[in-house]
């Protein structure tokens, strides 16, 4: 009986213990579920917040990218439409960007110069020295042109040079140094200054020539007359006769020079009439034969043009000078071809000789007054011809074809008269 009672009590105790543990386990489980659910809810909230942030950032990036590409396009269009040349180089002087303004200035396409040394756009000695300028600046930081700007000389793709104003700015992109050059063409300004200087000089020369004509020519005529009289009084066979002749010849040469100078410095106003060019050219060519040193020169005139409105005396002076130049270039022997034609409202008279041509280094100077390569030349021939043709609203072109010789072309308006 006692044993049975003990067993029942033990069983009850066990039941009680199992029920307690179960309750504990259930509580623990509930806690675990609670925390897991709370974590999951938190993660869900975080994921949601992250997704929204991500969306906001993506929209921001899209806007920024669009703004950046618009700003780039604006900058590109400013650079592309700039009249000035804009060139970007790296620290070694290699071209990274060359805008259309620079293409127009230098005559190179961007693709021709990309990656090439910028010194290709400079004449000597800057062409050879530019690398060392750049290295010196990078080493010392001493700027000679950066941030200052100055007038420099550019070299076009055809080798010709022209004046430029260059300003250089420096920037660092991705840790690498770059230089941006802005180049402004000064050719029109320089040409205008030269024209102004020339006009001022010509006006002064005109005044001077008038004074010479008045103050020197008349007394010189008197001296000439007196010397002639003395010459006639010399006894026959006198040794002084030759000296008198020499003095007279020198006075005549001086007179001719003054006449030429006056014509150049103060050309008369053209008095235009109806001019037939072919007969005018033929009669001018006939005058050459009067010079004994030019007797072996032939002048062939071909072509024709309707009559033009011009001053025939002024044209005769021009044609005579061009024929004389051709004849001198051929050493007084050979044929000068003169071709007349009219096209596009312009009458062209081309004088072609078979002389040695005009050396490239003096071609730019031949229209300058007093420039001559001849021992007895005054250097006023072409300068005067240019002034007389300018007064007719025409132009003179000079060309030395590779085949040899020189072709000087007078272009005149072929307006009907
Ligand atoms: N047809 C030509 N062929 C070669 N050289 C030429 C020719 N025409 C002109 N020249 C060069 O141009 C220079 C200037 O010519 P320009 O007619 O002005 O003066 P010039 O002939 O020397 O002297 P001037 O005409 O006053 O007697 C010449 O000295 C010569 O060197
Ligand atoms: Mg001449």
pLDDT of residue 6: 55
Query: DSSP 3-state helix, strand, coil percentages of the chain (rounded to 5)?
Result: 55, 20, 25
The response to whether residue 334 sits with its C-beta less than 6 Å from ligand 1 reads no
Tokens describing residue 416: 């009907």
The response to whether residue 406 sits with its C-beta less than 6 Å from ligand 1 reads yes
What's the rounded Cα separation, in Å, for the pair 57 and 44? 20
For the residues of 161-217, what is the DSSP string, one character each?
A: EEEEEEEEEEEEETTEEEEEEEEEE-HHHHHHHHHHHHHHHHHHHHHHHHHHIIIII
Ligand nearest to C-alpha 386: 1
What's the rounded Cα separation, in Å, for the pair 386 and 415? 20
* Atom from ligand 1 closest to the CA of residue 371: 14
What's the rounded Cα separation, in Å, for the pair 326 and 301? 14
Ligand nearest to C-alpha 326: 1
- Sheet order of strands, 95-98 included: 95-98, 85-90, 176-185, 161-173, 150-155
Q: What is the DSSP letter of 222?
A: H
pLDDT of residue 332: 93
CB 100 within 8 A of CB 80: yes
pLDDT tens digits, the chain, 417 residues: what are they? 555 565 556 556 656 556 778 888 888 888 888 888 899 899 999 999 999 999 999 999 999 999 999 998 998 888 888 999 999 999 999 999 999 999 999 999 999 999 999 999 999 999 999 999 999 999 998 878 888 889 999 999 999 999 999 999 999 988 899 999 999 999 999 999 988 998 898 888 888 888 887 788 888 999 999 999 999 999 988 999 999 999 999 999 989 888 888 888 889 999 999 999 999 999 999 988 888 889 899 999 999 999 999 999 999 999 999 999 999 999 999 999 999 999 989 999 999 999 999 998 999 999 998 999 999 899 999 999 999 999 999 999 999 999 999 999 999 999 754
Q: At what angle do helices 381-390 and 312-329 cross, to 10 degrees?
A: 150
What's the rounded Cα separation, in Å, for the pair 329 and 324? 8
The response to whether residue 373 sits with its C-beta less than 6 Å from ligand 1 reads yes
The response to whether residue 378 sits with its C-beta less than 6 Å from ligand 1 reads yes
The response to whether residue 413 sits with its C-beta less than 6 Å from ligand 1 reads no
pLDDT of residue 141: 86
The response to whether residue 372 sits with its C-beta less than 6 Å from ligand 1 reads yes
Which residues have C-beta under 5 Å from ligand 2, the single-atom ion?
A: 325, 381
Burial of residue 258 (number of CB atoms within 10 Å: 0-12, 13-18, 19+) = middle
Report which protein residue has its CA nearest ligand 1's atom 28. Answer: 372
The response to whether residue 353 sits with its C-beta less than 6 Å from ligand 1 reads yes
* Mutation test residue for ligand 1: of 288, 319, 379, the one with most atoms within 8 Å of CB: 379
Residue 371 CA to ligand 2 center (angstroms) comes to 10
Residue 215 CA to ligand 2 center (angstroms) comes to 27
The response to whether residue 371 sits with its C-beta less than 6 Å from ligand 1 reads yes
pLDDT of residue 110: 96
Parallel, antiparallel, or unpaired for β 333-343 and 296-303? parallel
Report which protein residue has its CA nearest ligand 1's atom 12. Answer: 366
């Amino acid at each position: 009986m006692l044993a049975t009672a003990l067993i029942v009590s033990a069983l009850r105790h066990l039941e009680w213990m199992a029920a307690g543990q179960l309750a504990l386990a259930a509580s623990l489980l509930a806690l675990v579920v609670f925390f897991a659910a709370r974590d999951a809810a938190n993660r869900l909230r975080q994921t949601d917040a992250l997704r929204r942030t991500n969306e906001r950032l993506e929209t921001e990036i899209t806007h920024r990218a669009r703004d950046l590409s618009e700003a780039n396009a604006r900058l590109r269009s400013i650079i592309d439409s700039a009249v000035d040349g804009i060139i970007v180089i790296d620290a070694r002087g290699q071209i990274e960007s060359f805008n259309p303004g620079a293409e127009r200035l230098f005559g190179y396409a961007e693709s021709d110069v990309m990656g090439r040394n910028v010194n290709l756009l400079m004449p000597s000695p800057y062409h050879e020295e530019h690398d060392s300028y750049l290295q010196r600046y990078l080493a010392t930081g001493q700027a000679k042109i950066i941030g200052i700007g100055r007038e420099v000389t550019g070299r076009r793709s055809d080798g010709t040079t022209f004046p430029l104003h260059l300003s250089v700015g420096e920037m660092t992109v991705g840790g690498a140094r770059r230089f941006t050059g802005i180049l402004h063409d000064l050719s029109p300004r320089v040409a205008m200054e030269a024209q102004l200087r020339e006009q001022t000089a010509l006006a002064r020369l005109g005044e001077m020539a008038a004074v010479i004509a008045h103050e020197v020519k008349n007394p010189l005529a008197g001296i000439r007359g007196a010397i002639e009289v003395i010459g006639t009084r010399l006894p026959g066979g006198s040794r002084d006769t030759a000296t008198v002749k020499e003095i007279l010849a020198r006075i005549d040469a001086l007179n001719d020079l003054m006449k030429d100078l006056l014509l150049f410095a103060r050309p008369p106003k053209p008095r235009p009439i109806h001019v037939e060019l072919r007969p005018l050219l033929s009669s001018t060519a006939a005058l050459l034969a009067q010079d004994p040193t030019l007797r072996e020169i032939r002048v062939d005139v071909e072509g024709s043009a309707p009559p033009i409105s011009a001053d025939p005396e002024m044209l005769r002076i021009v044609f005579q000078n061009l024929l004389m130049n051709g004849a001198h270039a051929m050493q007084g022997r050979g044929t000068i071809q003169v071709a007349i034609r009219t096209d596009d409202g312009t009458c062209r008279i081309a004088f072609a000789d078979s002389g040695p041509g005009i050396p490239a280094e003096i071609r730019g100077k031949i229209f300058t007054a007093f420039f001559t390569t001849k021992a007895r030349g005054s250097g006023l021939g072409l300068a005067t011809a240019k002034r007389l043709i300018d007064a007719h609203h025409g132009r003179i072109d000079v060309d030395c074809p590779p085949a040899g010789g020189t072709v000087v072309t007078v272009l005149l308006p072929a307006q009907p008269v």
